[in-house]
Amino acid sequence: MKTEIIKTLTTDFENSSYKTDEGIEFWLARDLQHLLDYSKWDNFKNVILKAKTACEVSGHKIFNHFPDVGKMVDIGSGAKKEIDDLMLTRYACYLIAQNGDSKKEIIAFAQTYFAMQTRKAELIEQKILESERVNARHKLTQTEKELSSIIFEQTGDKNFGLIRSKGDKALFNNNTQMMKGKWGVNKNKPLADFMPTILLKAKDFATEITIFNAKNKNMDMEEAISNEHIANNKTVRNTLISRGITPENLPPEEDVKKVERQLTKDKNITLKGNDGFKGDANE
C-alpha cells in the first residue's frame, strides 16, 4: 500500500471518530461500514455479529463496546426516519476489522490501524497506572518524614525506623525483613519501593491517622506513638482483608525507582521527538 494512500486512510479514520462527554472515542457503525467498503448494511451486520461473539469470548461485555443507537437520515422531500446504528469503541472496531474480508486492502489497513490504536491506549493506561504508583510512593515518603519529625519533636526519639517496622508488622503480619525475603527484595532497599499502589496508599493512610492522633492527643512517649501506629495499621489491614485483599499475599511490583526513571526517560524521548518533528516540518 502506497504511503499517500495510508496517509489518506489514516486521516479518514481519524476524522470519522467522535468523543463522548467523558472523552471516550467511538465510531458509528454506519460510518465504519462505508470506510471498510461494505455497500450493504446487512452484509456488514454479519461482520458485526462475528465481532460481538469475539468480544464475548474474550471476556468483555458486548454492551460496553457495541451499544445500540438510533440515527436520523433524510429520505427525501425534507422527511427523515430513524435507522439502527451502533456506537463502536476502538476495541469493537478492531474486532470488526479482524472479522472482515481480509482480501480487501482497506480491511488489512483497518486491522493494523485499530490494533495500533488499541495498543497505544493500553500503553497510555499502563503509564498512568505507573505514574499513580510513583506519586503514591512520593506521598508516603513525605508522610513518613512528617511522622518522624513529630516523633522527634514530641518525644525526642530519633528512631523512626523502629516505629515504621512495627507498622509493617501490623500491616503484613510479617516483619519487614520477612516481607523482603518473601518478595525477594534486597535487604538494603526499602520495602515500600516494591509495594503495589494499593498498599502504598493503605500504609500512607495508616501513617496519616498516626500523625493526626499523635498531635491531637499530645503523645510524648515513643511507646504511645508506636501503639497508635500499630493499631492504625491493624485497622487498615482488617479493612483490606474484609474486601478480599491480604497484604502479604499480594505480589511485589517492580522497583518504583526504576519505574520512575523509565517514565522520565520516556517523557524526555517524547519531548525530543516532538521537537524533531517540528524541525522536519519546517524544512
One-letter amino acid at 75 equals I
- Of the listed ranges 32-36, 50-54, 81-85, 244-248, the least confidently predicted one is 81-85
- Of the listed ranges 38-42, 80-84, 93-97, 267-271, the least confidently predicted one is 267-271
Q: Residue 42: is its pLDDT beyond 60?
A: yes
Q: What is the mean pLDDT of the chain?
A: 86
139: helix, strand or coil: helix
Q: Residue 270: is its pLDDT beyond 60?
A: no
φ, ψ of residue 184 to 5 degrees: the values are 70, 35
pLDDT, tens digit, 9 for 90 and up, residues 163-180: 999 999 999 999 999 999
φ, ψ of residue 151 to 5 degrees: the values are -60, -45
Contact 259, 130 (CB under 8 A): yes
**Per-domain boundaries in the chain:** 3-113, 127-278
Contact 51, 96 (CB under 8 A): yes
Sheet bearing 79-88, strands edge to edge:
18-19, 25-28, 79-88, 68-76
Q: How large is the average pLDDT for residues 14-37?
A: 87
pLDDT, tens digit, 9 for 90 and up, residues 209-240: 999 999 999 999 999 999 999 999 999 999 99
